[in-house]
Amino acid sequence: MRTARIWLGLLLLPALSCQQQPPAPSAAAAAAQRRARNPDYSELVLQPRRGWTPEAQAQKVSLLLLCEKDRIKFKEQVRYRIEIRNVGRDPVVFKETGPSFIKEGSLCGAGGFRFEVAGKAGAFTRMPCQEGPAGRPPQSGLDLELWAGEFLLTRSGSPADRFRDLLTPYRFKRGTYRIRAVYAPLRAVSNTIVFDVY
């Protein structure tokens, strides 16, 4: 009787092993697959640091706004970059038609990004948008998933330059200003940058 049970177990083992799901790819292997499928992912996304854990919320992003200078000359361009991090548990989809904010800096698209400005004191107001650099046709849009812990970087002005011009017809006069970035779909607001125009 015992021998019959052993033989039955040996016969059922291959059938049971066929029903098991293949092991899930590691986070690094999954990221490599996303890079291979999407060149934007390869160029604009950085992987999370080891040991990072997501917040309890399903979808949440944080925005880090960095400006090249805290003092700029009158009529000089404000130059910035943004690092967007998925701090929630689930992937966040970024879908932008051209012109794209992430790729080109255009605030006129439907991607949900905007800049807000205020004087030294007073309320923030939305900055007007400008399509993109004059004489350059819009590039393709953006369509990628940002997974938990990953960073999405705004495209820089050139490979040797991590910052880009703030595209807006808003004119900064001499004085002190505060600016911040907003991603409306997830109600994310960046840190506030203070700079002087002299």
* Percentage, residues of the chain above pLDDT 70: 78
93 contacts 145 by C-beta, under 8 angstroms: yes
Q: What is the pLDDT of residue 184?
A: 96
For the stretch 97-123, pLDDT in tens is 888 899 989 998 888 999 999 998 899
Banded model confidence at residue 8, pLDDT cuts 50, 70, 90:
very low
As for how many domains the chain has, the answer is: 1
User: Does residue 10 belong to any structural domain of this protein?
Assistant: no
3-class SS of residue 34 = helix
Q: What is the pLDDT of residue 6?
A: 53
Residue 18 predicted with pLDDT over 60:
no
The boundaries of the domain holding residue 186 are 25-197
Q: What is the pLDDT of residue 4?
A: 54
Residue 36 predicted with pLDDT over 60:
yes
CATH label of the domain that carries residue 65:
2.60.40.10
User: Does residue 15 belong to any structural domain of this protein?
Assistant: no
User: Does residue 96 belong to any structural domain of this protein?
Assistant: yes
Q: pTM score, two decimals?
A: 0.80
For the stretch 55-85, pLDDT in tens is 999 999 999 999 999 999 999 999 999 999 9
User: Does residue 90 belong to any structural domain of this protein?
Assistant: yes
What is the average per-residue pLDDT within 26-47? 78
Amino acid at 173: K
User: Does residue 181 belong to any structural domain of this protein?
Assistant: yes
How far apart, in whole angstroms, are the C-alpha atoms of residue 21 and residue 29? 17
Provide the mean pLDDT of the chain.
Answer: 85
User: Does residue 175 belong to any structural domain of this protein?
Assistant: yes
How far apart, in whole angstroms, are the C-alpha atoms of residue 30 and residue 33? 5
For the stretch 158-197, pLDDT in tens is 888 999 999 999 999 999 999 999 999 999 999 999 999 9
Q: What is the pLDDT of residue 138?
A: 61
User: Does residue 32 belong to any structural domain of this protein?
Assistant: yes
User: Does residue 3 belong to any structural domain of this protein?
Assistant: no
180 contacts 189 by C-beta, under 8 angstroms: yes
